[in-house]
A and B are shown apart, each in its own frame.
Chain A
């Protein structure tokens, strides 16, 4: 049976109208999600936790060969520099042996003085170690996923460090995977102290390699490139005196920038520091834990 041409073209118009409407509906959905994610952060957080938990095993498997390849490359590079490194290490060893003697002496002296003064020591921290299974590190977001969650004692707001210094803090906790907000992320703000002047400031992530110091309290003129930056205990967000980085450059009108000690791209394992602090990121899921 032959269809009249008019009917066909009307059908075509109808179809293209439907398609256009569907496309608009999808755009509206995306915009709606954006508003929802902004308004109902709890829902977005729960969703992220569930998905991160579900994909943690896959990401874990994927991250292993990548780590092995990186290790292999590191080994090849290491072999080339073996001789020079050996000489350097021998020299360092000698120097460190001297420092060890000094440290022992100071430790003994410190113990003696503490007992004289009845000094109350800082609380002992406990650590949870975990492997990095995903690195999201681009111009817009900077975070890590690790293979530890509530089962392992990870809690929201805990400070995350490596042997070199502060990495960030725990942002979302699933049962076996957690997300760590890096100190370079746009949403990261941590209270810090700049040594040796003990100037307080807030370290603000800017999505680039070097975060910026803002809200400097006191005399900013005393700050110079090379000054060490450590965490401050303000607002119970971080344990005090964890190394963060050094002041790298001061640009007039743009601010003070910090080069972090931790090379996040090379980080394979991280440790969560648990001082029993409540942190500035209280869990939105009102479980009352640690509040």
Chain B
């Protein structure tokens, strides 16, 4: 039976959730927290979003979507244009290419993989920013930011998994 227009719209909205949630993370990362010392460890939330959905639902987190999210982040947050775009596209591409490896694996394997991908992403961003600015970025805050990002992955991942099982049906 062919789905009705309403059913298709409903499914489309559900399928857009991963992208919308990741875009929301861009905005959340700019919310003034007013926590003392937070800046030194500000996590890369968008990377968590893109990486989680690239493993969980690669059909809903396409490379071009990752590029779009990256450009949005660059433009809104003031990173040099194209840097986050490249980092997110590469992270998405690497994860999707290992899709078979992740199939049926427990969550801590995803976490471990994210740790590796995030390390690569941070190093890539560090090199790109240094090359575009012509100056070396202090490594210490970058390392702290990486550690916080990796430690936030299970929490956000759990939240995304709940959203996925509750709202996004099998595609």
Chain A residues packing against B (C-beta within 8 Å): 22-23, 26-27, 29-38, 44, 47-48, 51-52, 55, 58-59, 62-63, 66-67, 70, 132-143, 145, 179, 186-187, 206-209, 263-268
Nearest neighbor of B76 in chain A, beta-carbon distance? A51
**Contact sample, A vs B, 28 pairs, CB 8 Å cutoff:** A22-B63, A22-B64, A26-B67, A27-B86, A27-B90, A29-B85, A31-B86, A33-B71, A33-B82, A34-B83, A37-B82, A38-B80, A48-B75, A59-B30, A134-B30, A134-B31, A139-B138, A139-B141, A140-B125, A140-B137, A143-B78, A145-B30, A207-B138, A207-B141, A208-B140, A265-B39, A266-B36, A268-B32
Chain B 31-56 residues near chain A, CB threshold 8 A: 31-40, 42, 44
Beyond A23-B93, A207-B138, list 18 extra A-B contacts (CB 8 Å): A30-B89, A34-B81, A36-B81, A44-B81, A47-B75, A52-B76, A132-B32, A133-B32, A137-B38, A137-B39, A140-B129, A141-B77, A143-B78, A186-B133, A206-B138, A207-B137, A208-B138, A208-B140
Nearest neighbor of B83 in chain A, beta-carbon distance? A34
Contact of A66 among B31, B77, B79, B133 (CB under 8 A): B31
B128 within 8 A of A: yes
Classify the secondary structure of B's interface with A: helix
Answer whether A34 and B138 are a contact pair too, CB < 8 Å, given A44-B81, A135-B33, A263-B36: no
Contact of A34 among B33, B40, B72, B80 (CB under 8 A): B80
Kindly state the separation between the CA atoms of A62 and B27 in the bound complex, as whole angstroms. Answer: 8
B169 within 8 A of A: no
**Inter-chain contacts of B5 with A (CB < 8 A):** none
Determine how close the nearest CB of chain B comes to the CB of A211; give it in whole angstroms.
11
Contact A268 B86 (CB under 8 A): no
Chain B residues packing against A (C-beta within 8 Å): 27-40, 42, 44, 63-64, 67, 70-72, 74-83, 85-86, 89-90, 93, 125-126, 128-129, 132-133, 135, 137-138, 140-142, 144-145
**Inter-chain contacts of B67 with A (CB < 8 A):** 26, 29-30
**Inter-chain contacts of A26 with B (CB < 8 A):** 63-64, 67, 89
Max chain A C-beta neighbours (<10 A), residue from B30, B75, B78: B78
Contact A141 B135 (CB under 8 A): no
Contact of A27 among B30, B39, B89 (CB under 8 A): B89
Answer whether A55 and B76 are a contact pair too, CB < 8 Å, given A26-B64, A268-B32: yes
